[in-house]
Chain A
Amino acid sequence: MKILLIEDEPDLRSTLLNFLEKEKFAVYPVENVFDAEDELLVYQFDLILLDITLPDGSGLDLLPIIRKSQDNAGVLIVSAKNSIDDKVNGLDLGADDYITKPFHLAELNSRIRALIRRKVYDNKEVLSFNEISIDTVGKSVQINDKPFELTSKEYSLLLYLITNKERILTKEDIADHLWGDSAGYFENYDFIYAHIKNLRKKIQAAGGNDYLKTVHGIGYKYTAE
């Protein structure tokens, strides 16, 4: 999987580069519109991570060039501007998704995976983790090939855990993913324990293993270890 990473902030670029390479992506980092244009004209990418505010122009100006030069690249806008106008503009100009800084790496990972599933695998990929498999189109889960029921929040929690398997996910991270802006309704993030407990119970009742480990004081980790 080839990702073009367009980000002008060197620290953030190297963090993202480091993370994405660990996730086994081939990453091409560039820092401005000019270099991005060069890469776009030479290579085909599966995904483009696009920062809007760049030193030599707006990332939005690259969207028409991406449309012309790329056959099937997903575009994920990464912006510090949490404004509806920017979001709508970006999506209108052909971006596929929009994520606001600062974000959780796991959240970025799950957005990237979702985009790749849609764009590259045409939604035909079935996600699986040992005996658990997820059909992301039908939004259904099977354990040992037997379907079982989850609420939409539990489904999205399981998908998030499996997408980010072998990774410590903080309570904040999970809460933000499940509830988005509504995560702010809570005095603290302990409420996600209720989601976790219900999910565990259901998976075990359906004959699945409990892969979810508690990382004390921090969060959770989905691991086969």
Chain B
Amino acid sequence: MNLIQYTNRNFIISTLVVLPFVCVGLFFSIKHFVEDEIDEKLRVDELRAVTAIKNSEDLPNLSPVFEVKEVSGPAKQILIREVYVYDPIEKEDELFRELSCVEEINGKYYSIEVRDSMLETKDFLIAVISVVVVLMMLLLILSYLLNRRLSSKLWLTFNNNLKELNKFSVVDQKELVLEKSSVSEFESLNKALISLTNQINDDYKALKEFTENASHEIQTPLAVIMNTTEQAIQESKDSESAKALYKIYQSAKKLSILNEKLLLLAKIENRQFKNVELVDFSILVKEKISQLQELYEYLNIEVKYSSNDSFEVEMDKELAEILITNLISNAFKHNVDKGEIDVQLLPEKLIITNSTDQKVHSNELFKRFVHGGGKKSTGIGLSIVDTICRFSGLKSEISGKEKYFFITISKIQN
């Protein structure tokens, strides 16, 4: 429910709740005033009757609205009530408001009854209430329409700006441009958003530059260490110092691989891979497996590949290749002698199974620096797999059964 609907709904509900009370209140107050009016008229009529009797005119008798009779007494106070009286014209009992009293005039007692039909009053009341209800309904509809028109006009800028904001991506490094609004709340929101996004853009740029600089700054000294030790190994006279130098060299090499992988993770998380296209995993996997044929023959590992369907994903091509490389690399690294790798391509799903002697089979392995016991592994390969999946609308899951390790890559269902 949007804000306009919300306010309109509240407006309508509260109006509908208040309306019956207004009608009831109105009914009783109008009834009260009308009865007051009638009572006053009845009193005037009674005075007229008394005056007429004093002047000894004929006793006025106009049943049922006017009845005067001579009675024996005693005098009675004025009583006003509602009664049903037979109306000879209408030929039925009708509701009348009746004033009755017994007055002493010129030493005689007269009973005076003056009546006024309540029928007209009822009609009048109904008419008044109907008019009020209709008027209020009209007012309601009018204000609803007016509100809607005005609101959609007021919110138009807001909605357009929201669209712009949704399109905003820090990777594009474009400044957010918003429409000016005449509503001060919206305008201050715009100002806050613009300054926020500018800040994000600046930070992102700084982070990106840092990532690239870090790469350069670390790789260059590593290159110096590696190349200097390589050269020193050539020139070393005894095998002991050569081995010591080789250890330095190996560590520098490991550090350099680690650095490269961490940079890759940073780049993925900074969304710097943007060449999204439709990637066919069946083609990629087939290519990778045939490239590695010589390798698994040497390693005595049997590689099986079965494909039932194509698995196409909208993602960066380079990332897709890194993903497949890491998955297959993992299956090779943690395999056993004369082991096997089974790559299955199902509709919308890729399952890689490998024989292993390692015990850890949980999604914990997706965390950085967590490894299942392989001494040479950096503990980042599967973290890269998981990160690529997260940023490409994919899902990765690890499971294990006896001596087998499974990784499943599937699309996230929307």
A residues bordering B, Cβ < 8 Å?
9, 11-12, 15-16, 18-19, 53, 80-82, 84, 100-106, 151, 153, 167-168, 170, 172-173, 179, 181-182, 184-188, 191, 194-195, 215-218
Chain B nearest CB from A153 CB (Å) reads 6
6 A-B pairs with the lowest CB-CB distances in the bound complex, closest first = A102-B223, A80-B219, A80-B216, A101-B223, A11-B224, A194-B298
Say whether B227 contacts A15, CB under 8 Å.
yes
Interface centre among B246, B292, B376 (most CB of A within 10 A): B246
Specify which of A11, A170, A187 is in contact with B246 (CB 8 Å cutoff): A170
Interfacial residues of chain B within 229-257, with CB under 8 A of chain A in the complex: 230-231, 233-234, 239, 242-243, 246, 249-250, 252-253, 256-257
25 CB < 8 A contacts A-B: A9-B224, A12-B224, A15-B224, A18-B231, A80-B215, A80-B219, A101-B219, A101-B220, A102-B219, A102-B253, A103-B227, A104-B226, A104-B227, A170-B230, A172-B250, A182-B292, A182-B329, A185-B329, A185-B333, A187-B332, A216-B239, A217-B239, A217-B243, A218-B243, A218-B246
Chain B nearest CB from A42 CB (Å) reads 28
Say whether A82 contacts B260, CB under 8 Å.
yes
Interface centre among A101, A167, A186 (most CB of B within 10 A): A101
What is the interface size of chain B, counting residues whose CB is below 8 A from a CB of the partner?
A: 45
Residues on the B chain within 8 Å of A82, using CB? 215, 260
A53 and B333 alpha carbons, distance in the complex (Å): 35
Say yes or no for B136: interface residue by CB 8 A criterion: no
A18 and B226 alpha carbons, distance in the complex (Å): 14
Say whether B234 contacts A168, CB under 8 Å.
yes
A15 and B267 alpha carbons, distance in the complex (Å): 31
Say whether A103 contacts B239, CB under 8 Å.
no
Chain A nearest CB from B65 CB (Å) reads 105
Q: Closest B residue to A19 by CB, please name it.
A: B231
Interface centre among A170, A184, A195 (most CB of B within 10 A): A184
Say whether B227 contacts A12, CB under 8 Å.
yes
Say whether B220 contacts A181, CB under 8 Å.
no
Say whether B299 contacts A191, CB under 8 Å.
yes
Say whether B227 contacts A19, CB under 8 Å.
yes
Q: Closest A residue to B321 by CB, please name it.
A: A181
Q: Closest B residue to A106 by CB, please name it.
A: B230
A102 and B223 alpha carbons, distance in the complex (Å): 4
A53 and B231 alpha carbons, distance in the complex (Å): 24
Chain B nearest CB from A21 CB (Å) reads 11
Residues on the A chain within 8 Å of B55, using CB? none
Say whether B333 contacts A187, CB under 8 Å.
yes
Say yes or no for B309: interface residue by CB 8 A criterion: no
Q: Closest B residue to A198 by CB, please name it.
A: B298
Specify which of B249, B257, B375 is in contact with A170 (CB 8 Å cutoff): B249
A168 and B236 alpha carbons, distance in the complex (Å): 11
A102 and B295 alpha carbons, distance in the complex (Å): 25
Say whether A102 contacts B222, CB under 8 Å.
yes
Q: Closest A residue to B381 by CB, please name it.
A: A184
Q: Closest B residue to A166 by CB, please name it.
A: B234
Say yes or no for B291: interface residue by CB 8 A criterion: yes
Say whether B332 contacts A186, CB under 8 Å.
yes
Chain A nearest CB from B31 CB (Å) reads 87
Chain A nearest CB from B332 CB (Å) reads 5
Say yes or no for B374: interface residue by CB 8 A criterion: yes
Say yes or no for B294: interface residue by CB 8 A criterion: yes
Q: Closest A residue to B328 by CB, please name it.
A: A185
Specify which of A11, A102, A215, A218 is in contact with B252 (CB 8 Å cutoff): A102
Interfacial residues of chain B within 380-400, with CB under 8 A of chain A in the complex: none
Chain A nearest CB from B322 CB (Å) reads 9
Q: Closest A residue to B377 by CB, please name it.
A: A187
Residues on the B chain within 8 Å of A84, using CB? 318
Say yes or no for B212: interface residue by CB 8 A criterion: yes
Say yes or no for B159: interface residue by CB 8 A criterion: no
Q: Closest A residue to B252 by CB, please name it.
A: A102
Say yes or no for B61: interface residue by CB 8 A criterion: no
Residues on the A chain within 8 Å of B234, using CB? 167-168
Say whether B243 contacts A168, CB under 8 Å.
no
Specify which of B220, B257, B328 is in contact with A9 (CB 8 Å cutoff): B220
Say yes or no for B228: interface residue by CB 8 A criterion: yes
Say whether B295 contacts A182, CB under 8 Å.
yes
Say whether A168 contacts B233, CB under 8 Å.
yes
A101-B222, A217-B246 are contacts. A15–B231 as well, Cβ < 8 Å?
yes
Q: Closest A residue to B299 by CB, please name it.
A: A191
Say whether A172 contacts B216, CB under 8 Å.
no
A7 and B260 alpha carbons, distance in the complex (Å): 21
Say whether B294 contacts A151, CB under 8 Å.
yes
A195 and B298 alpha carbons, distance in the complex (Å): 8
Q: Closest B residue to A151 by CB, please name it.
A: B294
A153 and B297 alpha carbons, distance in the complex (Å): 13
A102 and B253 alpha carbons, distance in the complex (Å): 8
Say yes or no for B8: interface residue by CB 8 A criterion: no
Say yes or no for B325: interface residue by CB 8 A criterion: yes
Say whether A191 contacts B298, CB under 8 Å.
yes
Specify which of A80, A105, A170, A218 is in contact with B231 (CB 8 Å cutoff): A105
Interface centre among B234, B242, B328 (most CB of A within 10 A): B234
A151-B294, A179-B295, A182-B292 are contacts. A218–B256 as well, Cβ < 8 Å?
no
Q: Closest A residue to B261 by CB, please name it.
A: A184
Residues on the B chain within 8 Å of A103, using CB? 223, 226-227
Specify which of B228, B243, B257 is in contact with A15 (CB 8 Å cutoff): B228
